[in-house]
Structure 1
């Protein structure tokens, strides 16, 4: 009985019921008014105007189709639903605020002209890619930083613990998911100890990402421990598109000298302390040197946005990064915001695919690619590039896996090789190309990551970690199941139909 009461009066249940009641009320009102010819006509005309607006907008064609179908199917209230849910979830005031912070970010991150010129002389194609990232992500490229690829997740975890113990000035953590358990509890002990010693410890977590993981008001619990905390986009019992815009980034920064990003969240399944979907494969990248400053500015920008403060970034910039030896290569952290209208992450991926000459190895938990990505991958394979994609064999979301599998046939026909990670769930998000380029970050190959979420990654050119990503991916291909047309034929017919239906509506799911 107590368990039932906890469920009935839980935050999730209260919010869900409130939203469902709002939707139901909205539908009933529209239905009642639609009995009047004039009102019915007005709503129908509104839906037609909304469709015209969508068709002439700059949004992805897949997103347009996903909305036009339900609007034309339910013209009486379809247009109103789009106006309520189909646009960006942040109001104008918040967008203006974010732009102001972006200007400050621009002032804090300056491209070293010598580094830029050096890359241009070495490889114009690489320089053009870096220039795009610098221009639209505001993050410069560096040639005085080191990187280390960390796979699987427990390797990242051990590496992070050692660096956290060294913290003297500040620790910044920004994660989509934090869950109490072995991983987070051990990190929390270090954070509390460091906070007591005067280290500036700050944590940002996404409210939806942690909805079933952390107790309500957990940010206040952390504050009581001396750990400053912000919750991104708190879930409220109000029907709003803002639910869609999440902070999917995973960033850890220690003293401005070491930073991490990748697929690993702070929860036990990511380091296989508990099993959820078989063996959990994941990865991260450790960055040391001046490139860490880009991550620090990313974090502080988000912090200022959430707290509505105006921290002076410069006080967090180290005078000595503690890295003496330069890598033979270039490192460029970058961030992607859904508020600027520029699909940075997708463009970074497309640039790599389009410039590949020999091979492209990709790891992603979701292969929910739009037409641009599918065409780019197919054309690369058709021109003789060895394109290989690793997806999970045991999925975490059955509907996402259905869409993933619905893309297999088209890619196989073009010569793309697809591998499912047989031991379990592959959550890594990596690209490696031609022994020259690699991207490791938080970005999935799905609409949510590419268009709706705050994301980040590290673009690398000719660093030693590029080959680390390649070797690790090649090693794992050997224990994967290579998908064939026979494999696809064995998928039950009803799953194929579900996949095709969900594929149409994936952008708004």
Structure 2
């Protein structure tokens, strides 16, 4: 028995050395590598737990074979090839090519977009579209709440399933932790195919908890779709009468060729959770809408298992190539170093860079961690606006009256590096101007950070606390 503790020490040392070698071979940024080496060496046992949960390089994993991915993309490729007179904007040709090469985010023309800026606009439109379904409904959502609105949507889906319509639903396990299983079992009993994304259960309770499907996709019959920032929850429709302001968010109703890209994204996620290849031609039907324009759109997806952080790289390129302005909205601002560098560089180069975040976050730790980044960008000339008419959960970007994007991606470590996200990038002047108007309307309900005394005159203890919490930014 006298040697037992020595055996434990030797085994522990071997484990630590093996993990350190793995970290070194990942060839990450030197600062990240050194940070993990220090944690593993000087934080006994807990350092290993942290690495298992948050430190593994998932971009080296292959969770889907290339053959399966090719099969799931074949129909989308055929619809892309059938496009005629596709004219890509010369200025953004390299950005379009970047997305195409990295994640097969094909550009599609002939699209029509309707923007929703609150739940009172979005949910009636969603329910009407569900009611129009004649073949299938595909829903991919982070939060599907068991509240009056969630039950209303689930009832609509159940009714369509009883009519013989194919209904598939993906929900995220962490996003729906507080939702009772019976809520989803009721849908399954009615004939809906319901799958949970990457369930977190012991003993598999490792890094799974850190990688979540944050996408919000809905496709009806393969000809119309919805995507953006809204989950299915009452928080988007609660008004002043209910005792709280609603969450401000941006969502889109899409018609046209871009729906083929939404369909492909959902079917890839479906294969991920159900291991079923759904490739039938009926899921990519001819469009019934007569839309003839050159509104170019790309659905760009990113995930921790993709080779590159696609959406983050796109944001960096947009910021560095902007000529006049870049306006952004995000509920959480914990930027990665490339994003922070690009924002500061663009602002110092004379580009009008504006960032809108909520006056108060729904999470105090996130708010405190964000302040140090915010103050750093202000010093370089970035204009920070604090939205004060509720909690702004919107994720949009508009640039130079020519490009805009909306989707599920926050400007933070989690969205850029850990989550499964989806954004639609539009290369169209009319749409960019419409999104610019949305931003300016929100700005009218915001205050310049320079006029908020409590942020400008924070005591030393508060600033120190913010800097300490900032160290946890990649984990928040």
* TM-score, normalised by the number of residues in structure 2: 0.91
Give distance in 1, aligned partners of 2:208 and 2:29. 19
CA deviations 1:346-394 (Å, max 9, x no partner) are 0111121111111111000111001111110001001111111011112
The answer to which of 52-61 and 171-180 deviates more is: 52-61
Identify the match of residue 362 of structure 2 among 392, 396, 411. 396
What's the counterpart of residue 300 of structure 1? 267
Summarize the alignment of residues 189-208 of structure 1 with structure 2, pairs less than 5 Å apart. Answer: 189-208=155-174
Give, in whole Å, the separation in 1 of the partners of 2:3 and 2:407.
Answer: 49
Q: Report deviation, 1:64.
A: 4.1
Alpha-carbon deviations, 1:90-127, whole Å to 9, x = none? 996xx34354432223323227469698444x41x311
**Which runs of structure 2 are paired with 1:55-454 in the superposition (5 Å)?**
55=24, 57-59=26-28, 63-64=32-33, 67-74=36-43, 78-79=47-48, 82-83=51-52, 86-88=55-57, 95-97=62-64, 99-110=66-77, 112=80, 118-120=86-88, 122-123=89-90, 125-212=91-178, 214-238=179-203, 239-272=205-238, 278-319=245-286, 321-454=287-420
Question: C-alpha displacement at 1:500, in angstroms?
Answer: 1.3
Shift of 1:395: 1.0
Kept in 2: contact 1:429–1:441 (CA 8 A) = yes
Specify the SS of the correspondent of 1:484: helix
Residue in 2 aligned with 1:503?
A: 470
How far apart, in 2, do the equivalents of 1:76 and 1:220 lie?
Answer: 39
Unpaired runs of 5+ residues, structure 1, are 1-31
Give, in whole Å, the separation in 2 of the partners of 1:269 and 1:76. 40
SS of corresponding position for 2:300: strand
Deviates more, 1:70-79 or 1:195-204: 70-79
Contact 1:327 1:463 in 2 (8 A): no
On the 8 A contact 1:62/1:504 being kept in 2, the answer is no
- In 2, Cα distance between equivalents of 1:200 and 1:263: 25
Decide whether the 8 Å contact of 1:364 with 1:391 is kept in 2.
Answer: yes
Q: Is the 8 Å Cα contact of residues 146 and 289 (structure 1) preserved in structure 2?
A: yes
Please state how far the C-alpha of 1:334 moved relative to its aligned partner: 1.9
1:338–1:451: 8 Å Cα contact kept in structure 2? yes
CA distance in 1: counterparts of 2:66 and 2:424, whole angstroms? 22
Task: State the aligned residue count.
Answer: 471
CA-CA distance at 1:82 after TM superposition: 2.3
Secondary structure (helix, strand or coil) at the match of 1:450 reads helix
Q: TM-score, normalised by structure 1?
A: 0.85
Moved more, 170-179 or 72-81: 72-81
Question: Is the Cα–Cα contact under 8 Å of residues 277 and 395 in structure 1 kept in the other structure?
Answer: no
Secondary structure in structure 2 of the residue aligned to 1:101: helix
CA deviation after TM superposition for structure 1 residue 66, in Å:
5.2
Give secondary structure in 2 for the equivalent of 1:139.
coil
CA distance in 2, matches of 1:54, 1:158: 49
Distance 1:65 1:263, change over 3 A: farther
What SS does structure 1 have at the residue aligned with 2:231? coil
SS in 2 for 1:399: helix
Q: Secondary structure at the match of 2:115?
A: strand
Decide whether aligned partners of structure 1 residues 85 and 361 sit closer, same or farther in structure 2, where only a CA change above 3 A counts: closer
Q: Is the 8 A contact 2:54 2:475 kept in 1?
A: no
Flag the 1:34–1:370 CA change in 2: closer, same or farther, 3 A: farther
Deviates more, 1:355-364 or 1:104-113: 104-113
**Offset of 1:155 from its aligned partner?**
1.6
Once structures 1 and 2 are overlaid, which stretch shifts more, 191-200 or 245-254?
Answer: 191-200
**Offset at residue 276 of structure 1 (A):** 8.6
Structure 2 CA distance, aligned partners of 1:309 and 1:100? 13
Give the conservation status (yes or no) of the 8 Å contact 2:146–2:180.
no
Cα distance in 1, alignment partners of residues 350 and 146 from structure 2: 47
Contact 2:356 2:384 survives alignment (8 Å):
yes
Asked whether the 8 Å contact 1:147–1:464 carries over to 2, the reply is no
The whole-number CA distance in structure 2 between the counterparts of 1:162 and 1:291 is 20
State the Cα RMSD in Å. 2.8
Q: Shift in Å at residue 59 of structure 1?
A: 4.0
In the TM superposition, residue 41 of structure 1 has moved relative to its aligned partner by 6.0
- Please list the CA deviations of residues 319-355 of structure 1 after superposition, one character each: whole Å capped at 9, or x if unmatched: 2x12213234211112112112310110111121111
Offset at 1:156? 1.7
Deviates more, 1:53-62 or 1:330-339: 53-62
Asked whether the equivalents of residues 430 and 439 of structure 1 are also in contact (C-alpha less than 8 Å), the reply is yes
Relative to structure 1, is the Cα distance of residues 66 and 165 closer, same or farther in structure 2, using a 3 angstrom cutoff? farther
What is the aligned partner in structure 2 of residue 488 from structure 1?
455
More off after superposition, 478-487 vs 328-337: 478-487
C-alpha displacement at 1:464, in angstroms?
A: 2.8
